[in-house]
Structure 1
Amino acid sequence: MARYVLHMTFDGDPARLAARPAHREHLRRLKEQGRLVTAGPWGDDTGAMHVYEAADEAEVRDILRDDPYTAVNGYEIVLLKEWTPIL
């Protein structure tokens, strides 16, 4: 398994805000499954950062396909990259 960092940006689309409760429930399930290390929005709510535990980038993209934000085109990916933490 490897760690992957996702940096996403949001626009002001109300559909994303309507999907937020389902999105956060999706994240809670991933955390319980050990597939999500941490996640949260930027302080100004213009985007978010997630850290996933996954076999490869394809698995992370599969996770994103199931995210309620994806269904409403609620974000754009700025960065999705394998990360090697040292501490």
Structure 2
Amino acid sequence: MATYVLHLAFDGAPARMAARPAHREHLRRLKEEGRLVTAGPWADDSGALHVYEVADEAELREILRADPYTAVNGYEIVLLKEWTPIM
């Protein structure tokens, strides 16, 4: 397994807000499956930080393709990087 950090920047589009419940349900399922470690928006709602435990970047890209926010172009990827936590 590999750990990935994902930093997203949001736009303020109404379409993203309409997709938010489905997006959060998507994240909840990933958390239950053990593929999402943690996720949450910045305090000013300008974006979010997610940490994933997945086999590889290809699996993470597939997760992103299935995210309801992707369908409405609700974010921009600022950083997607494999991370090696030590604690």
Q: TM-score range by the shorter chain?
A: over 0.9
SS of the aligned residue for 1:40 comes to strand
Q: Deviations over 1:37-85 (max 9, x none)?
A: 0000000000000000111111100000000000000000000000000
For residues 58 and 9 of structure 2, the distance between their equivalents in structure 1, rounded to whole angstroms, comes to 20
1:12 and 2:8 are equivalent in the alignment: no
Q: CA RMSD in A?
A: 0.4
Partner of 1:36: 36
Partner of residue 50, structure 1: 50
Question: Number of aligned pairs?
Answer: 87
TM-score, reference length from structure 2: 0.99
**Partner residue, 2:71:** 71
Q: Per-residue deviation at 1:14? A: 0.5
Tell whether 2:73 aligns with 1:84: no
Counterpart amino acid of residue 69 in structure 2 = Y
TM-score in terms of structure 1 length: 0.99
Q: Which consecutive residues of structure 1, in runs of 5 or more, have no partner in the other structure?
A: none
Q: C-alpha distance in 2, partners of 1:61/1:42? A: 22
Give the AA of the match of 1:6.
L
CA distance in 2, matches of 1:71, 1:11: 14
Q: Which amino acid aligns with 1:79?
A: L
User: Which 4+ stretches in 1 moved above 4 angstroms?
Assistant: none
The SS at the match of 1:63 is helix
Cα distance in structure 2, aligned partners of 1:35 and 1:3? 9
Quote the residue 1:22 is aligned against.
22
- Identical columns (%): 84
